[in-house]
Amino acid sequence: MKLFFRDLLLIVVAAVVISVGIKAFLIRSFYIPSGSMENTLQIQDRIIVNELVPKVVPLEHGDVVVFKDPGGWLPPSPRTQNNAFAAGVDWALSVVGLTAPDSNDHLIKRVIGLPGDKVACCNAFGQMTVNGVPLDEHQYLKLPAGETRASAIDFSVTVPKNRLWVMGDNRNDSADSRLNTDTPSKGFVPEANVVGRAFLISWPLSRSGWLDDYPNVFNGVERHQK
Tens digits of residue pLDDT in 135-170: 999 999 999 999 999 999 999 999 999 999 999 999
Tell me what percent of the residues of the chain surpass a pLDDT of 90.
68
- pLDDT value, residue 89: 42
User: Which whole number is the average pLDDT over 81-98?
Assistant: 48
User: Helix/strand/coil (H, E, C) string of 185-206?
Assistant: CCCCEEHHHEEEEEEEEEECHH
pLDDT digit string (tens) for 122-138?
999 999 999 999 999 99
Per-residue b or e along 3-16, where b marks 16 or more CB atoms closer than 10 Å to that residue's CB = eeeeeeeeeeeeee
Answer for the pair 150, 121: CB distance below 8 angstroms, yes or no.
yes
pLDDT given for residue 77 in this prediction: 61
Residue 177 is a catalytic residue: no
Where does the pLDDT of residue 2 fall: very low under 50, low under 70, confident under 90, or very high at 90 and above?
Answer: low
Q: Point out the catalytic residue in the list 2, 29, 34, 36.
A: 36
| The domain made up of 28-76+103-218 is a member of CATH 2.10.109.10 | yes
Kindly list the domain boundaries of the chain, sorted by start residue.
Answer: 28-76+103-218
- Determine contact, residues 90/100, Cβ cutoff 8 Å: no
User: Number of C-alpha atoms within 13 angstroms, CB side, residue 68?
Assistant: 7
- Give the pLDDT of residue 223: 66
The predicted pLDDT at position 93 comes to 47
Q: Which member of 19, 23, 29, 109 is catalytic?
A: 109
Q: Annotated catalytic, 142? A: no
Where does the pLDDT of residue 60 fall: very low under 50, low under 70, confident under 90, or very high at 90 and above? very high
Can you give the length of the chain in residues?
A: 226
- Residue closest to 53 by CA, chosen among 215, 220, 193, 222: 193
Question: Who wins on pLDDT, 110 or 3?
Answer: 110
pLDDT tens per residue across span 16-29: 444 444 444 578 89
pTM over 0.85: no
Contacts of 139 (CB under 8 A, 6+ apart): 212, 214, 217
Determine the average pLDDT of the residues in 101-112.
83
